Amino acid sequence: MNTNITTAKKTEVDAAYETSKFALGVGITMAALVGIWGVASLVSALSTNGPVDLVKSYFTAVIGI
């Protein structure tokens, strides 16, 4: 004779940990997108103006020469 036994399993979830883990993932993803956008912009400027003009424009923007 077989007897079926049903057991209840309780799972506890730490909501603060899960929320911070999700927020960290979103933050890392957004930082990666900003970095990729910056590199794409730099490559675009290099291909359009050339490296000498890019450095000249950089110093003009930062230092104001």
Give residue-wise pLDDT tens across range 26-47.
999 999 999 999 999 999 999 9
- pLDDT averaged over the chain? 90
In the predicted structure, residue 65 carries a pLDDT above the cut 80: no
Q: What is the pTM of this model?
A: 0.64
Q: What angle do CA 11, 14, 15 make, to 5 degrees?
A: 120
pLDDT for 4 equals 78
Domain residue limits, the chain:
33-65
For residues 4 and 36, what is the distance between their CA atoms, to the nearest angstrom? 57
Closest CA to 41 of 28, 54, 53: 54
Tokens of 9: 């399993």
pLDDT for 63 equals 86
Q: 54 Cβ partners below 8 Å, 6+ apart? A: 45, 46
pLDDT for 1 equals 66
